[in-house]
Structure 1
Amino acid sequence: MSPIRKPYPSDVSDEEWSLVAPYLTLMDEGAPQRQHLLRELFNGLRYVLRYGIAWRAMPNDLPPWSAVYQQSQRWLAAGVFEELAQDLRALLRVASGRAEEPTAAIIDSRTLRSTPESGPRAGYDGAKRKRGSKLHMAVDTLGHLLALHVTPANVDDRAEVGKLAAAVQDATGENVELIYVDQGYTGEKATEAAKAQGVELCVVKLSEAKKGFVLLPKRWVVERSFAWATRCRRLVKDYERYADTLAGLHVVAFACLMLKRAADFVIQSA
């Protein structure tokens, strides 16, 4: 945090910064072209993500919006948050007494309503009765991010099983053997697409004898992860012009969530 301003709740803590700084330093800290503190640029990105403001509405006591935006795009293009999320996931799993890489995953999708910025690439989701974009996501059994990507909302979930399963295997070194899904992923094509990546789909069904809202075994974990993402107001709707930016900001959100937990673990271990 800059010494000349008051902190925002979204600012990165000292413990979090000690963990994330090595991933964000794309050039030497003393490079002559650097005009703003790297930590303040990261705080600017976190502010936009957490409070859902437009880039040009950046508070005046943070770096200029253009500098924060440009640096954020460099980070997203370099894939630093994907790398950070993978390392933090392994750390948190080991801290929880689990193996470094999971053997099971959970996948699901979430439809985000479109806005004027994202409208040209939006699709209509008949099941949710929304026009927008669909976020396809995979998490481990603790709810930590494994992989995600974005499509128009009219894309069938079954058609994305192969791509998502391949991304999961790439993130875990082909360690996942089982993927839990809901009844929207039934069918031979989805099963075969998963088998092609060396994983088995396990459809968790709601018993016909039960009525009303019921937590489905394993399946509720990914729903909780979606709920975590909605704490970031920028991710409540699809405000992005490009699908890659929407996916990248989701990765940033989950990386920041795991970063806080990892920092707490470091403090407790000290």
Structure 2
Amino acid sequence: MLSVRIDYFKSKPVNIPKITILLDNGYHPEKLEFELKKVYPQIVNKIEFHLSPKPSKAHKEKEGKKGFVPVKARWAIKRTNSGMEKCKGLVENFERTLDRAATKVNLCFVRLMLKRLATG
């Protein structure tokens, strides 16, 4: 997926600050770094992958919880992704240019922010 439009990204300067990406425990950061190094080696030193911490049994017992306990950082991302899935234009249509696709994503985020402000 990333390699389809990689020429666009390679033509842009790599002047981004260091980024930390929080991953779910189902991902393997070493594999992601290896694949990213093959496709776009200039950006690998700008990205750092961290696994989301799992709550320990002692932590769960201290809070009086059992079974599945969601990690707050991970669920903020999952809520955003599920909100984006409700934007039908993103799910059904495929844009020809990257600018149009980015505009649709931005409009979806504006819609999500307005809904959260209206309910909060």
Higher strand content, 1 or 2 = 1
- TM-score normalised per structure 1: 0.26
- TM-score normalised per structure 2: 0.49
Highest Rg: 1 or 2?
A: 1
Higher helix content, 1 or 2 = 2
